[in-house]
């Protein structure tokens, strides 16, 4: 199973690597921004349309 | 570094043509231009949200899931409330917009409106039924909403409160015919103890340290080998403190999440070195505040934004009481003049962005709220100017910067209200005037000495506290002090006053909602003289006001236990000290008032009845009763008589002006009989927002010649549109007969001025002369529209070309194209006053 | 029964949200006969929270009971909701719609706000 921690958008917390932020770039019709959503490292990312495998 | 605006000679051309919005676009910096255009405008347009603006389901899902998991928890209710609040802040999506220097938003994405499903089921039904704001995919998300709505049915604040209100009062209130708002601690608007949290003496961590000390002390005390009533009461305080602590810690954590995101962006995504530096500054600011006091202007604004965002996570907030130039001014001074770490232009960018952050805030509101506040989410009336607690002029360079920034970013909301006093420097008045002349519709002008006296008269605020007042919403002053601030103004005490005169004719029965709402006064046709008629009016007034006030009193008494506000309490010295919830009336002085919508119709109608029925004997009351019941159908000549041949308020005509004063005296007398749970008075405050449009189809025909469906008058003590025939001085003279200290809380006055007449230095001098008359007559408020009919009519025809035209609606400004056609016409109808 | 209890009973439907009306039935457009499309129904002034009154039936009526209770005398209208099931009500008369989706005109008070009425023909 692909998990969030394998994604290049995943940034783990220093104090707890099992948690982190999924950081993504968004451009909506009015503005561009970076968003961060708290996720678990082990969350299932197999259905995630934004998943991008981290370069090893 | 602020990016300067590009030099563009078209700026002067636009200004010559008074196309201020195009000139502003050219004048403002590249950063401000981007951020201004980045806003998703969230004010409802004629009652409906704009396409693209969506209800945010994230907070609703987080709230619901956390509530479910807390069901089995042994935590006391207030602690659960705090944990729910913390869960949202810990888990919501956050974002940082390109070019932004300030962060923090109520929703998860820029185009979303936050929805808190724990507040009212009637709100939740509206979310479910809203035709356009459910996000894609609609079917799937409607199912999610359905599940959330079903979970909260019976559990929301309002669901829990309703059974403990008086059933009669509740049904009358819910009919929506006489009131406007709900009596909820989490559904109104909160002032704050800014003297405690915004003077640079403490951040959240300092408060937490204080709480820890208190809790340890009391925890020891309650375990002494004894027991009594005081100890029994201490446990609630311990729970409240614990909840405050949880909420404040969550506030610190979410700021650090923003810091982290800014650092991630700087280290991993941003290539421009200047922007990297800015992101690291954002990170530093969010590490500093709200945990610790701010050190500079950016951190001061950031601190404020965080507090507002968190307050709006805990509750629905319909206003934004604050005094930004007063509390942030010292930091502006430090950065620009002392440490010189910011140029004026850089500071202006921050000030402009601070306005933009406020402009974009939105929480999903019920339709009646949107219809009463067309074009805006809530009335963000920011208080500027005024005096300090010693009575000295408090205007500073930031006051001027706010005026200048407002002209650059041209948001309709926040809107400013300027506390004028005789020592205000000309330089500041000029900046105020320029905002008005540029068609912003703000600042409104408040007479500071009058309102300081007013606050002392009605609510007994000591003079040093009264001097620190801010607008609780559009109009009513409230100090920002320990015992003076009002934690939740429940808009439920907002009366549709046109019903007072209507109910005299229907003996209190409301034909729109099919309910006996008012007093069962005798059949109007039996009244033999005007005194009997007026007595019936007074009884209807007392009945309507009492129904609304009783509900608010009840809610205020129950709020600390049934709908606590741990976050808001954590910002308040009296709560930290006492361990009681912010809404607890025993620790507050009280600052209640009754907003009187649709007020002037009463004076005009009473005057018409007195003249045409009793003085001239032209018609009988039975005839008039029949005519009104038939909406004047078959009585058009009679109706025109009542329109044209009866005196109208605003013309310096003693016949009607004396009646107005009599009505106000009756209300003022009653205001002192009505008491809030703090033991304080309930003065009235005539004003309207866009309630005159919302209520147009709810109020029947009236003796001022109005038909069912006609727009009601536009605000406070403003004369009916087009009915003021004797010029601006006559309007001021009528309004000046009112005692603005003792006859009510405050009195809203709309005036339209000619942009052509007020051009240039001559225009400024004319306006100053007008303002001198206004001040000499002792009026407490005036606000201006300065945009001509031709522009407004063009905007109706081609709204795409006039997206940025702003008008003053009533207690707030809105973009003209965002308000309904009926409201637009109503504004155009307002008389343009020629000065000089 | 005390006067207060009688009042509470009469208004019971208005006090608490009805889960069925908030969700399940609602998403499918309600039944064929609901109060919201009856010509005797008047929404509350707020016009958007689903509460209203019947212009014909009076307080004390109950169209959900078996058999329904009809009170035609009295002052106050029978409190009911836009989505209340009116299938048992003998006084139900379907209103004439100007347009199909239940929005009578652009003026706020005349709109039927509940999306379920979009399915009504």
pLDDT in tens, C21-79: 444 333 344 567 888 888 888 877 665 667 788 989 999 899 988 899 999 999 889 98
Q: How many CB pairs under 8 A join A and B?
A: 59
Q: Determine the residue among B97, B136, B272, B359 to mutate to test chain A binding: the one whose Cβ has the most chain A Cβ atoms within 10 Å.
A: B97
Strands in B504-641 per DSSP E: 509-510, 515-516, 594-597
More confident position, C118 or B218? B218
**Cβ B260–A21 below 8 Å, yes or no?**
yes
Q: Give pLDDT, residue B282.
A: 98
Task: Identify the DSSP state of B285.
Answer: H
**Cβ C46–B142 below 8 Å, yes or no?**
no
Residues 6+ apart with CB under 8 A from B497: B541, B544, B596, B597, B598, B599, B601, B602, B686
Average pLDDT over residues B826-835: 77
Closest approach of C62 to chain B, Cα-based (Å): 16
Q: Are B97 and A32 in contact (CB under 8 A)?
A: yes
pLDDT of B358 above 80: yes
Residue B374 lies in a domain: no
Q: Give pLDDT, residue B649.
A: 97
Could you write out the DSSP letters of every residue in B551-584? HHHHHHHHHHHHS--HHHHTT-HHHHHH---TT-
Gap between the terminal Cα atoms of chain A: 18
Could you write out the DSSP letters of every residue in B743-766? S-S----EEEE-TTTT-HHHHHHH
**Cβ C45–B513 below 8 Å, yes or no?**
yes
What percent of chain B has pLDDT above 70?
99
Could you write out the DSSP letters of every residue in B198-219? SSSS--HHHHHHHHHHHHHHHH
SS (H, E, C) B804-828: CCEEECCCCEEEHHHCCHHHHHHHH
Residue B109 lies in a domain: no
- Which residues from chain B sit within 8 angstroms of residue C46, using beta carbons? 122, 174, 176, 366-368
Residue B174 lies in a domain: no
Q: How many CB pairs under 8 A join B and C?
A: 125
Closest approach of C66 to chain B, Cα-based (Å): 25
pLDDT in tens, B72-104: 999 999 999 999 999 999 999 999 999 999 999
Residues 6+ apart with CB under 8 A from B133: B49, B53, B54, B55, B113, B127, B364
The structure tokens listed for B170 are 């509740």
Let me know if chains C and B touch, i.e. at least 3 Cβ pairs under 8 angstroms. yes
| Burial readout B342-372 (b: 16 or more C-beta within 10 A, e: otherwise) | bebebbbbbbbbbbbbbbbbbbbbbbbbbbb
Closest approach of A29 to chain B, Cα-based (Å): 9
Residue B136 lies in a domain: no
Nearest to B134 by CA among B60, B188, B43, B66: B60
Q: Name all chains with 3 or more CB-CB pairs below 8 Å to chain A.
A: B
pLDDT of C115 above 80: no
Q: How far is CA B809 from CA B195, B313, B413, B817, in A?
A: 32, 28, 12, 12
Is the ipTM, as predicted for this complex, more than 0.90? yes
Q: What is the largest CA-CA distance in chain A?
A: 36
Residue B153 lies in a domain: no
Measured between alpha carbons, how far is B397 from B401 in angstroms, rounded to an integer? Answer: 6
pLDDT of C18 above 70: no
Measured between alpha carbons, how far is B341 from B339 in angstroms, rounded to an integer? Answer: 5
Q: Are B492 and B183 in contact (CB under 8 A)?
A: yes
Residue B786 lies in a domain: no
Measured between alpha carbons, how far is C28 from C3 in angstroms, rounded to an integer? Answer: 38
**Cβ C4–B174 below 8 Å, yes or no?**
no
**Cβ A33–B95 below 8 Å, yes or no?**
yes
Candidates A11, A28, A36; nearest CB to B94: A36
pLDDT in tens, B771-819: 999 999 999 999 988 777 888 888 888 888 887 788 877 677 778 887 7
Average pLDDT over residues B241-251: 98
- Which residues from chain B sit within 8 angstroms of residue A32, using beta carbons? 97-98
Q: Determine the residue among B131, B151, B167 to mutate to test chain C binding: the one whose Cβ has the most chain C Cβ atoms within 10 Å.
A: B167
Candidates B34, B108, B265; nearest CB to A34: B265
Q: Round the CA-based radius of gyration of chain C to a whole number and report it.
A: 14
Average pLDDT over residues B452-474: 97
Measured between alpha carbons, how far is B245 from B686 in angstroms, rounded to an integer? Answer: 40
Looking at the complex, does the CB of residue C7 fall below 8 Å from at least one CB of chain B? yes
- Which residues from chain B sit within 8 angstroms of residue C107, using beta carbons? 697, 709, 822
The structure tokens listed for B685 are 């405050």
Q: Are B795 and B805 in contact (CB under 8 A)?
A: yes
pLDDT in tens, B677-730: 999 999 999 998 777 877 887 899 999 999 988 889 987 999 998 898 998 889
| Residue B836 confidence class, pLDDT cut points 50, 70, 90 | low
Mean model confidence pLDDT for chain B = 93
3-class secondary structure, B791: helix
Closest approach of C26 to chain B, Cα-based (Å): 9
Neighbours of B796 (CB within 10 A): 15
Q: How far is CA B559 from CA B202, B448, B566, in A?
A: 27, 32, 12
- Which residues from chain A sit within 8 angstroms of residue B95, using beta carbons? 26, 33-36
pLDDT of B472 above 70: yes
Please state the separation of Cα B42 from the chain's center in Å.
16
Measured between alpha carbons, how far is B67 from B70 in angstroms, rounded to an integer? Answer: 5
3-class secondary structure, B459: helix
For residue B661, the enclosing domain spans: 495-745
The structure tokens listed for C83 are 């989505």
Residue B631 lies in a domain: yes
Q: Give pLDDT, residue B366.
A: 84
Strands in B201-327 per DSSP E: 316-317
Q: Give pLDDT, residue C9.
A: 81
pLDDT in tens, B119-169: 998 889 889 888 789 999 999 999 999 999 999 999 999 889 888 899 999
- Which residues from chain C sit within 8 angstroms of residue B46, using beta carbons? 106
Please state the separation of Cα A9 from the chain's center in Å.
4
**Cβ B167–C7 below 8 Å, yes or no?**
yes
Looking at the complex, does the CB of residue C1 fall below 8 Å from at least one CB of chain B? no
Looking at the whole model, is its pTM more than 0.80? yes
pLDDT of B384 above 60: yes
Nearest CA in chain C to B170: C15
pLDDT in tens, C73-110: 998 899 888 778 899 999 999 877 655 443 333 333 34
pLDDT of B833 above 60: yes
Q: Give pLDDT, residue B761.
A: 87
What percent of chain B has pLDDT above 90?
75
Q: Determine the residue among C48, C99, C106 to mutate to test chain B binding: the one whose Cβ has the most chain B Cβ atoms within 10 Å.
A: C48
pLDDT in tens, B8-55: 678 889 888 888 999 999 999 999 999 999 999 898 876 778 889 999
Domain ranges of chain A: 4-40
């Amino acid at each position: 199973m692909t998990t969030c921690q394998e994604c290049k958008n995943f940034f783990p917390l220093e104090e707890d690597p099992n948690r982190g932020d999924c950081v993504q770039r968004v451009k909506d019709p009015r503005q561009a921004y970076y968003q961060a959503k708290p996720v678990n490292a082990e969350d299932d990312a197999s259905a995630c349309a934004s998943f991008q495998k981290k370069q090893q | 570094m602020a990016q300067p605006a590009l030099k563009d000679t078209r700026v002067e051309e636009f200004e010559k043509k008074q196309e201020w919005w195009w000139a502003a676009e050219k004048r403002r910096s590249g950063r401000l231009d981007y951020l201004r255009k980045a806003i998703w405008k969230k004010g409802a347009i004629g009652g409906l949200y704009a396409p693209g603006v969506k209800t945010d389901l994230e907070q609703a899902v987080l709230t619901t899931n956390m509530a479910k998991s807390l069901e089995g928890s042994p935590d006391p209710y207030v602690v659960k409330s705090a944990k729910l609040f913390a869960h949202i802040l810990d888990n919501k999506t956050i974002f940082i917009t390109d070019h932004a220097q300030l962060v923090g938003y109520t929703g998860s994405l820029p185009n979303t409106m936050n929805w808190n499903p724990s507040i009212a089921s009637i709100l939740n039904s509206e979310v479910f039924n809203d035709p356009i704001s459910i996000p894609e995919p609609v079917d799937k998300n409607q199912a999610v909403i359905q599940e959330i709505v079903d979970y909260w049915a019976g559990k929301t604040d309002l669901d829990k409160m309703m059974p403990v209100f008086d059933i009669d009062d509740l049904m009358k209130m819910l009919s929506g015919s006489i009131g406007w708002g709900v009596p909820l601690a989490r559904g109104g608007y909160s002032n704050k103890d800014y003297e405690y949290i915004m003077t640079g003496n403490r951040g959240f961590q300092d408060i937490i340290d204080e709480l820890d000390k208190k809790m340890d002390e009391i925890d020891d005390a309650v375990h002494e080998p004894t027991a009594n009533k005081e100890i029994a009461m201490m446990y609630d305080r311990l729970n409240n403190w614990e909840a405050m602590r949880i909420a404040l810690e969550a506030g610190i954590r979410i700021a650090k999440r923003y810091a982290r995101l800014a650092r991630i962006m700087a280290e991993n995504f941003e290539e421009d070195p200047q922007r990297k530096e800015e992101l690291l500054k954002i990170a530093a600011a969010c590490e500093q505040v709200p945990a610790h006091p701010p050190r500079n202007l950016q951190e001061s604004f950031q601190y404020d934004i965080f507090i507002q965002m968190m307050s709006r996570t805990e509750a629905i907030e319909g206003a934004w009481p604050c005094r930004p130039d007063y509390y942030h001014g010292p930091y502006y001074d430090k950065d620009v003049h002392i440490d010189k770490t910011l140029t004026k232009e850089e500071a202006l960018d921050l000030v402009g962005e601070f306005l933009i952050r406020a402009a974009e805030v939105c929480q999903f509101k019920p339709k009646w709220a949107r219809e009463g506040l067309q074009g805006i989410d809530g009335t963000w009336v920011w208080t500027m100017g005024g005096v300090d607690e010693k009575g000295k002029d408090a205007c500073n360079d930031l006051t001027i910067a706010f005026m200048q920034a407002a002209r650059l970013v041209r948001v309709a909301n926040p809107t400013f209200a300027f506390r004028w006093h005789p020592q205000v420097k000309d330089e500041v008045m000029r900046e105020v005037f320029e905002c008005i002349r540029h068609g912003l519709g703000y600042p409104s002008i408040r007479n500071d000495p009058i309102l300081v006296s007013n606050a002392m008269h009605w609510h007994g605020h000591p003079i040093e506290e009264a001097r620190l007042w801010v607008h609780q919403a559009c109009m009513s002053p409230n100090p920002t002090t320990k015992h003076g601030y009002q934690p939740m103004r429940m808009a439920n005490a907002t009366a549709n006053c046109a019903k007072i005169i209507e109910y005299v004719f229907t003996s209190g029965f409301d034909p729109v909602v099919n309910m006996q709402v008012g007093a069962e006064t005798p059949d109007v046709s039996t009244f033999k003289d005007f005194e009997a008629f007026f007595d019936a009016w007074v009884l209807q007034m007392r009945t309507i006001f009492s129904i609304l006030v009783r509900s608010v009193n009840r809610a205020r008494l129950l709020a600390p236990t049934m709908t606590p506000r741990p976050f808001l309490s954590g910002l308040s010295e009296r709560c930290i000290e006492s361990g009681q919830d912010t809404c607890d009336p025993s620790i507050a002085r009280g600052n209640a008032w009754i907003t009187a919508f649709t007020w002037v119709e009463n004076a005009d109608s009473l005057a018409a009845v007195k003249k045409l029925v009793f003085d001239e004997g032209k018609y009988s009351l039975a005839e008039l009763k029949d005519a009104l019941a038939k909406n004047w159908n078959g009585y058009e000549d009679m109706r025109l008589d009542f329109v044209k041949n009866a005196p109208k308020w605003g013309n310096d005509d003693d016949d009607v002006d004396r009646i107005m004063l009599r009505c106000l005296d009756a209300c003022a007398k009653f205001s002192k009989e009505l008491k809030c749970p703090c033991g304080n008075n309930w003065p009235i405050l005539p004003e309207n927002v866009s309630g005159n449009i919302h209520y147009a189809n709810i109020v029947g025909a009236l003796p001022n010649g109005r038909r069912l469906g006609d727009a009601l008058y536009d605000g406070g003590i403003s004369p009916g549109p087009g009915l003021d025939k004797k010029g601006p001085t006559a309007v001021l003279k009528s309004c000046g007969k009112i005692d603005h200290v003792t006859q009510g809380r405050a009195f809203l006055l709309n005036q339209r001025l000619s942009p052509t007449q007020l051009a240039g230095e001559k225009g400024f001098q004319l306006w100053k002369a007008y303002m001198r008359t206004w001040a000499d007559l002792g009026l407490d408020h005036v606000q201006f529209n300065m945009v001509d009919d031709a522009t407004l009519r063009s905007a109706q025809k081609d709204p795409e070309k006039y997206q940025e035209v702003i008008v003053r609606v009533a207690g707030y400004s809105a973009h003209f194209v965002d308000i309904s056609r009926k409201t637009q016409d109503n504004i155009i109808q307002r008389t343009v006053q020629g000065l000089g | 029964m005390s006067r207060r209890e009688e009042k509470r009973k009469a208004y019971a439907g208005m006090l608490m949200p009805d889960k069925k009306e908030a969700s399940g039935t609602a998403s499918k457009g309600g039944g064929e006969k609901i109060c919201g499309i009856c010509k005797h129904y008047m929404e509350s002034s707020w016009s958007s929270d689903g509460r209203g009154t019947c212009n014909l039936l009076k307080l004390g009526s109950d169209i959900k009971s078996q058999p329904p209770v009809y009170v035609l005398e009295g002052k106050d209208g029978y409190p009911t909701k836009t989505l209340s099931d009116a299938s048992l009500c003998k006084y139900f008369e379907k209103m004439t719609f100007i347009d199909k989706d239940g929005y009578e005109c652009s003026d706020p008070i005349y709109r039927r706000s509940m999306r379920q009425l979009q399915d009504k023909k």
